[in-house]
Chain A
Amino acid sequence: TTVGTSTNVDGAYTINVPAGSNTLEFRYIGYQTVTRSIGNATTINVALETDAQQLQEVVVTALGREEEERTLGYATQQVNSEQLTQGRERSVANALQGKVAGVNIQSQGGGPGASTRVVIRGAKSVLQSNQALFVIDGIPVDNSSSGTGDNLNNGIDVGNRANDINPDDIESINILKGPAAAALYGSRAANGAIMITTKSGRGATKKAEMSYVSSYTIEDVLRYPEFQNRYGEGFFGAPDLLENTSWGPVFTGEVLPWGQIINGQQRYKPYVALKDNIKEFFDYGSTWINTISLSGAAENATYYASYSNTSQSGIVPTTDYSRNSLAVKGSTKLLNKFNSSVSLTYTKSGGDFAMTGQGNSVFNQLIQTPRDIPVRELEDLSNPFNDEAGYYSPYTINPYWSLANQTFENDVDRLFGNITIGYEVIEKLNVTFRLGTDFYNDRRKQWMAIRDVEGQNEANNDDGMYSETQLYYREINSDIMATYGFDISEDLNLELLIGHNINQRTNDNLFAQADALANNQFKSLSNIVGTPLATSFRDIRRLVGVYGSAKLGFRDYLWLELTGRNDWSSTLPLDDNRFFYPSVNIAFDAANAFGLADNSPINFAKIRANYAKVGNDAPNFFTRSVFVSGNISDGFAGTDLNFPFAGIPGFEVSNVIGNNFLQPEETSSWEIGADVRMLKERLRFDVAYYDSKSDNQIISVPISFATGFGSANLNAATIRNKGVELLVGGIPIETNDFTWDISVNFTKNDNEVEDVFGENEISLGGLASAALVISRGRPYGTFKAEDYLRDPQGRIVVNAATGRPRTAPEQTYQGTIQPDWTGGLVNTLTYKGARFSFVFDTRQGGKMYSRTRGTQRFAGTAPETLFNDRQPYIIPNSVVEVGSTGEYVENTTPLTNDNLYEYWGNLPEGTNIVDASFTKLREVSLSYKLPASIVEKTFFGNIEVGVSGRNLILWTPDENTYIDPEMNSFGNGNLQGYDFSSTPSTRSWGANIRVTF
């Protein structure tokens, strides 16, 4: 017979053992099991040691529950602290790149503090967020990314809020991939969840331990566009000292004047290509991260405290980012039946960022620079040849002037954390209350100085602008949960959970702008001619939910879990705001069931299957039509007509029709998978196939403007994602001193928009001439762009007079941003105290729009503009239309040197769409832990030194000579795949040290 008991919080226990019993087994999750013989002892004390192997098998699931991984009927993947921090990446999301199957993680820009997008198993929602929910210690936290401007014009990537999380504070991350895993979290987790568990001091081997981690990494540009180096500044093949284009003559090496004549003087330089003139503009960036932490465990308590400082300086001069965070976490067992824990993190972050996009952005100026202009010589703004009036070209502005005089800075204060109180009512019946909050204030200041000069550069004169934005966000989350577990019979046990959740999220934002400055002397809203423009925006949403789960376990090899959740949401019609959704999952440990572990090479073989529905509520304020303050825009910055108009208020009928009959959205999915390990864990694989359908989506459906409106809020779209995830790992070599661990992950997701309100099409944004749309029967995010006019045989129709291609009157579909497949390769080699790891990451297929390509073509700096050495040529296979007859004859008009600029500068926008495939050497790290024999002689507990590098090599298809395909100028929202003069991405390398005391 077997009997059992549990210890109290102090670890004390009593047990009555039946006669004849001879051993006691001590078990605790995450610790090695200890068996002692009883003999005649009346007191048996044991100390349990942590079990690294087993620890990995316990994962944090929805609501912060800790469950044994083998009992779960859905896919999760855990990433531990070491894997996360080996590359010394400041962003948690970036640190996951290449390491997780089924998760698409895309860093968006090369600026300091830039944002990252995390999408699990494909985009599901037309308009709402598709990103995974970030959960820290059981509490959802905000990960929004609110960029500035309209992105096309002078936008700034201010980062996403997950950047506030310090990777060094993280103990582990568990990724819940499918709706089934997240069903208990409710609507927000339909996109999966990134469950972050922070360090707690639990499992500390000493009473107290102090650790210090320091790393310094240097970064530079990963991918420069390729440039032609044969022709220099000019136009029509002739020199022109004003030009921002390289359509001039062939380089001669002759010493010639350049730039303007100022005070009768002019600069001279040899007329040669400066291969690295763009490269020289960029600095080496650096990131210095220092984290000091204290942790420990006392009899009834654990604690962890850390301070971390991250200082990043960007590759673009003057840009930087910093993050300071203070975290404290503690838990204690209060009275006999109470326990409590608290976790709080304060973060202060922010930086100085550079503009991207068209207009005055630095990169936009740079890539238009003629091949012979020495960029570094433009740096000294006190030089009369470099200032606003003296700068060589009226068509661009000095990028150094832009950096010095067009600034953006922000400053974020953020606090998130939770308090948890638990009470054990009776044995195995626990009640837990957890209250969490997350709030921040993001203060932004943007400045554009007045330009007022005479002469050739007059056209760039500007009245200046100053604006301040305050973004305030607050989320409150409360959960009360009761869990009860009991054995129904010897073979069956049941774990029950019921809970109640309240969630509230509010935004309260203010924006004020002075759009004509009085002078250039101070950055304030009072520096203004006229009156400032001010707007405010606030919203609130609340959700109340009740949820429950029942998990039935059979003989330690079969588990069946049922969950259900019912939500009431403020964003749905008040009289019909309730929705219920269930899930079921099953896990079968075949190895255990059939005793495979004992008589076959298979140690573990779990088969899992699940089905889930997850409901979702509506965006804020979708239920009612309103009037809005009059505004009309043409898309150029600052050119709107905005009411009040000369002091007269005006409110127009909103172009959006509200709907008080909205139904909740529903994502239903099923998944099957297997997790098999064999040869004593030397070989493992995990495979999953899933199919999820997001139905009844609440969107603002675009409707014909002739209806008097532009859109109506309706339940109207369906998106389907089907895919395969495969993770294969192994330990090919394992000796006492040496281990090689390799794992490969592969993801293929097929995404299809099954319905968007009939034949309708929704634009996610981008350019009118190259938009990213959602269209029935196509993947989410398909380019619809201008194309060549073609005759029925597909030949390019050109203008008979100029020989230049004509643009088709209607746009065509030109590929999707969705990759065909993605994959990663992680290798870890350890030899005694040394550890070497490298990660490859690849994405194959998919397209992107590159404005860099468009600009380089127009400016004549792209290598492709050397076609036929710029001698006259007829566009191959081109025709002209006879009158307006629809008859076509062969084209005989060549492009000439005189209009090559027109040709390359006016190609249909669709021709700037390129293959976005890439492979990156994502991460390399080498660390060495000093042997105990040396460390023992010091006062250190541990010393580890390392070097690491990230994004060291990038491979792209030949047609992309322009940019890193991960770049996206529109931040980490749904509008992806646009290089719109983004800051180039970076590679980094550096050294680090970790010591403990």
Chain B
Amino acid sequence: CDDFLDVNDDPNNPPTSTPALTLPAAQGQLAYTLGNQFQFLGNFFAQHWTQAGAANQYCDLELYQITSSSYDARVWGELYAGALNDFRFVSQQALTDEQNNYAAIGQIMEVYTIQVITDAWGDVPYSSALNGLNNLNPEYESQEDIYNDMVVRLDSAIALIDPSGATPGDDDLVYGGNMTEWLRFANTLKLKIFLRQAYVRPDVAQAGIQAMYSAGAEFLQIGETGDIAFADQTQNRNPFYQTQVVFRGGVDVVASNTILDYLQETEDPRIDKFFSPAQAGSNQGSFVGVDQGVECTPDRTGNQSNTVSKPGPAVASPTTAVPYITAAESYFLQAEAVARGWTGGVGDASELYAQGIRASLDYVGEDVAAATALLQRVPYPTGGSVEAQVEQIITQKWVSFSGTQGFEAWTEYRRTGYPSFIEPSAASTLGTGLIPKRLLYPNTEAVRNTNYPGLVEIDVPVWWDVKD
């Protein structure tokens, strides 16, 4: 009888996996979230994109009307139970299997993922998270403690890296098992973690960065962007392309005048990579945008999306990659560290800034040589105040994020307040001058986790967000 009834093993799914089989799933899921819901959110809040006139799918983002269900199961859920838990499986299983390089990648990506989570929601479950039935109500932990532990965990990951050991191959969708690049990625991530604390804990940030430079840390260089390339195949395509261009017919998302004005003012050659010219109407063939949020107000024109600029070829193609950290970002981070004087005299901020712009041109497929002329129009304020230097760095970093790193663009805007020319959406329902400072804890936490801390409003800054 037992044999007759022994038929309850799921024939459709495997009972076990390996780091090599799970790593790509985790990397892909994280890239999907960053490249989809967080891409819309970030690029709207950071004013690269805005809602087109003849539709209203994303007006909630223009109204800053984010609810507790807006980024729930499909974002919060996928970040925790998808990416983070899968990276945790990779790192733990790899340690058991003595595959140290997989363990290192798993841990680095865990840190990357938890930073995204805490930057979005502030205090979140961390140490007590990912324990399944052993802790059904994970406690919320302060962002400060999480930031402290991220550094510890990165150091432990870096120590595991062994370029001479067995490395992943194609299953590592980011670097194909190139552990030198993973080491640089980890260092760049660590630099990003420290700089995020530049205003809230400058001493900690400075000490941490100083230590990295003293130890001779290397960072990501041109051509070493850590990203996930999408493929032009069924359900393998770039999520923004699938969602907006294909499913929504490209009717919603158009260029915000905030960035378009800046790109035109600076005659930035990347304009035709980030955006495409209007396809119809009186402005056909030229780059025109829409004032941020105006199409979600009574002053709307109702114009169709094809009468203005839409996201362009470097942003909205089926194969557009979703970056975790770009080479350009790496240089801008280094430039900021130098500008703040936290590198012990190592590095030239102006040159690193220029490298950042070159790396960005390179990444979007523009001729790097064009940087020379562009730099004339967006010169580095050598000799200016630290804040002036940081403003220029972040403003150009913001440009480099256009359309592909929306979440980071919004997050760096929250940290620094740059670009300083960003004004809230015309459709804002928040108080004067306010742009969302966090996401609301999801509804599922309110009903499933007894440690849910209660509603924290969208205008309450996260821990590191202290600068006006």
Contacts and interface: CB of A to CB of B under 8 A. Distances in A.
B440 A809 contact: yes
A653 B22 contact: yes
Contacts of A801: 297
B214 interface: no
A628 interface: yes
B242 A542 contact: no
B460 to A, nearest CB: 10
Contacts of A632: 28-29, 32-33, 78, 82
A634 B239 contact: yes
Contacts of A769: 67, 69
B249 A460 contact: yes
Contacts of B458: 809
A641 B136 contact: no
B15 interface: yes
A976 to B, nearest CB: 21
B450 interface: yes
B74 A621 contact: no
A644 to B, nearest CB: 8
A395 B247 contact: no
A536 to B, nearest CB: 7
A705 B29 CA distance: 15
B229 A810 contact: no
A601 B374 CA distance: 105
Interface stretch (A179-187, A200-208, A894-902, A935-943): A894-902
B236 A786 contact: no
Contacts of B33: 632
Interface stretch (B218-226, B325-333, B393-401, B425-433): B425-433
B316 to A, nearest CB: 14
B81 interface: yes
Interface in A105-135: none
B235 A640 contact: yes
Given A542-B7, A810-B68, A627 B17 contact: yes
A458 B304 CA distance: 11
Given A639-B243, A707-B129, A542 B430 contact: no
B446 A704 contact: no
Given A516-B234, A643-B24, A708-B130, A636 B247 contact: yes
B386 interface: no
A541 B449 CA distance: 34
A649 interface: yes
Interface stretch (B83-91, B98-106, B179-187, B415-423): B83-91
A702 B85 CA distance: 16
Nearest to B171: A648
Contact of A710 (B59, B81, B432, B440): B81
Q: Could you say which of B137, B444, B450 has the most chain A C-beta atoms within 10 Å of its C-beta?
A: B444
A646 B15 CA distance: 24
Nearest to B89: A653
Contact of A459 (B56, B298, B306): B306
Given A634-B36, A708-B85, A641 B77 contact: no
Nearest to A240: B302
A807 B246 contact: no
Interface residues of B, number: 113
A456 B229 contact: no
A811 B298 contact: no
B138 interface: yes
Contacts of B440: 809
Contacts of A648: 24, 170-171, 173
Contact of B231 (A514, A538, A623, A646): A646
B227 to A, nearest CB: 13
Given A628-B13, A708-B84, A806-B429, A515 B8 contact: no
Given A639-B242, A648-B173, A652-B25, A568 B5 contact: yes
- Determine the main DSSP class of A at the interface with B: loop
B265 interface: no
A650 B28 contact: yes
A530 B319 CA distance: 14
B447 A761 contact: yes
Contacts of B69: 768-769, 786, 811
A574 interface: yes
Interface residues of A, number: 104
Q: Could you say which of A456, A641, A808, A899 has the most chain B C-beta atoms within 10 Å of its C-beta?
A: A641
Given A638-B242, A703-B448, A646 B233 contact: yes
Contact of B234 (A515, A629, A707): A515
A80 to B, nearest CB: 41
Contacts of A912: none
A630 B22 CA distance: 8
Contact of B22 (A571, A637, A651, A712): A651
B286 interface: no
A646 B298 contact: no
Contact of B24 (A539, A620, A645, A657): A645
A759 interface: yes
A711 B445 CA distance: 13
Q: Could you say which of A634, A635, A710, A806 has the most chain B C-beta atoms within 10 Å of its C-beta?
A: A634
A706 interface: yes
B7 A710 contact: no
Interface in A395-419: 395
B247 A646 contact: no
Interface in A738-760: 758-760
B11 A538 contact: yes
Nearest to B77: A705
Contacts of A807: 65, 67
B31 to A, nearest CB: 8
Contacts of A562: none
Interface in A355-372: none
A810 B76 CA distance: 17
A627 B445 contact: no
Contacts of B84: 708
B457 A884 contact: yes
A786 B247 CA distance: 25
Given A643-B28, A708-B131, A810-B68, A906 B59 contact: yes
A811 B250 contact: no
B468 interface: no
A768 B72 contact: yes
A883 interface: yes
Given A621-B8, A761-B447, A896-B298, A515 B131 contact: no
Given A648-B24, A704-B449, A458 B306 contact: yes
Contacts of A249: none
Contacts of A459: 249-251, 304-306
Interface in A694-726: 702-710, 712
List the 6 closest A-B pairs by CB distance, nearest first: A650-B25, A630-B25, A459-B249, A708-B85, A646-B231, A706-B125
Interface of A: 235-236, 240, 242, 394-395, 456, 458-463, 513-516, 530-533, 536-542, 544, 568-571, 574, 577, 620-621, 623-630, 632-643, 645-655, 657, 702-710, 712, 758-761, 768-769, 775, 786, 799, 801-802, 806-811, 883-884, 896, 898-899, 902, 905-906
18 contacts: A459-B249, A544-B5, A630-B25, A636-B242, A636-B247, A646-B229, A646-B231, A651-B22, A652-B29, A657-B133, A708-B80, A710-B81, A712-B132, A811-B69, A883-B431, A883-B432, A902-B56, A905-B56
